[in-house]
Amino acid sequence: MAIALRWVTLLLLLGPLGLGCAGPRESTAGLPAYAAPEVASASDWPQPIDDIALQINLEPLSLEVGVVVFDEGVRNPDARDARDKLRSVETRLAAAYLRDVLTESGQWGAVRVLPVASHFAALTLSGAIVHSDGRDLVVDIRAIDASNRVWLDARFHSQASASDYLDNTTEPFRNLFISIANQLRAAADNFAPNDMARLMSVADLRYAQELAPDAFSSYLTEENGYLKPNRLPADSDPMMARIARIRNQEALFIDTVDEQYVDLGNELGPTYRLWRRSSLEQADYLEEYTERASGRELMAKQGSFAAMQQVYSAYRSVRIQEQDLFELATGFDNETAPTVLQMGESVVRLGGTLDQQYAQWRRILGQLIAIERGSL
Of 210, 80, 54, 237, residue with least CA distance to 146: 210
* Continuous segment of H or E residues that includes residue 225: none
Query: From CA 369, how far away is CA 282, in angstroms rounded?
Result: 55
Residue 27 has pLDDT above 50, yes or no: no
Specify the pTM.
0.77
Per-residue pLDDT reduced to its tens digit, 323-375: 665 665 565 555 554 566 665 666 666 666 667 777 777 777 777 777 766 65
Apex 138 CA angle, 183 and 16, nearest 5: 165
**Is there a contact between 97 and 171 (Cβ–Cβ < 8 Å)?**
yes
**Is there a contact between 24 and 142 (Cβ–Cβ < 8 Å)?**
no
pLDDT computed for residue 344 by the predictor = 60
Asked if the structure places residue 156 within a domain, the reply is: yes
Per-residue pLDDT reduced to its tens digit, 223-251: 999 999 988 888 888 888 888 888 888 88
On average, the pLDDT of the chain sits at 76
**Is there a contact between 354 and 260 (Cβ–Cβ < 8 Å)?**
yes
The least confident of 128-137, 141-150, 238-247, 285-294 is 285-294
Within a 10 A sphere around the Cβ of 166, how many other Cβ atoms? Answer: 10
Residue 23 has pLDDT above 90, yes or no: no
Asked if the structure places residue 329 within a domain, the reply is: no
What are the DSSP E strand ranges found in 169-248?
220-223, 226-229
177 and 36 both lie in a single domain? yes
pLDDT computed for residue 276 by the predictor = 81
pLDDT-derived band at 38, boundaries 50, 70, 90: low
pLDDT computed for residue 22 by the predictor = 40
pLDDT computed for residue 315 by the predictor = 60
Q: What is the DSSP letter of 45?
A: S
Asked if the structure places residue 310 within a domain, the reply is: no
Query: From CA 70, how far away is CA 39, in angstroms rounded?
Result: 17
Higher pLDDT among residues 300 and 147, named by residue = 147
366 and 230 both lie in a single domain? no
Apex 153 CA angle, 149 and 154, nearest 5: 165
Which of 268, 292, 325 is the last residue before a domain boundary? Answer: 268
231 and 365 both lie in a single domain? no
Per-residue pLDDT reduced to its tens digit, 247-286: 888 888 888 877 877 877 787 777 778 778 777 777 676 6
217 and 360 both lie in a single domain? no
155 and 257 both lie in a single domain? yes
Query: From CA 12, how far away is CA 9, in angstroms rounded?
Result: 5
8 and 88 both lie in a single domain? yes
Q: How many domains does the chain have?
A: 2
Beta strand 123-132 with 111-114 is unpaired
Q: The domain containing residue 151 runs over which residues?
A: 2-268
Asked if the structure places residue 308 within a domain, the reply is: no
207 and 350 both lie in a single domain? no
Residue 297 has pLDDT above 50, yes or no: no
Higher pLDDT among residues 151 and 282, named by residue = 151
Which of 241, 268, 295 is the last residue before a domain boundary? Answer: 268
263 and 343 both lie in a single domain? no
Which of 216, 236, 268 is the last residue before a domain boundary? Answer: 268
Q: What is the DSSP letter of 144?
A: E
**Is there a contact between 126 and 118 (Cβ–Cβ < 8 Å)?**
no
Query: Residue 111's beta-bridge partner residues?
Result: 65
**Is there a contact between 143 and 24 (Cβ–Cβ < 8 Å)?**
no
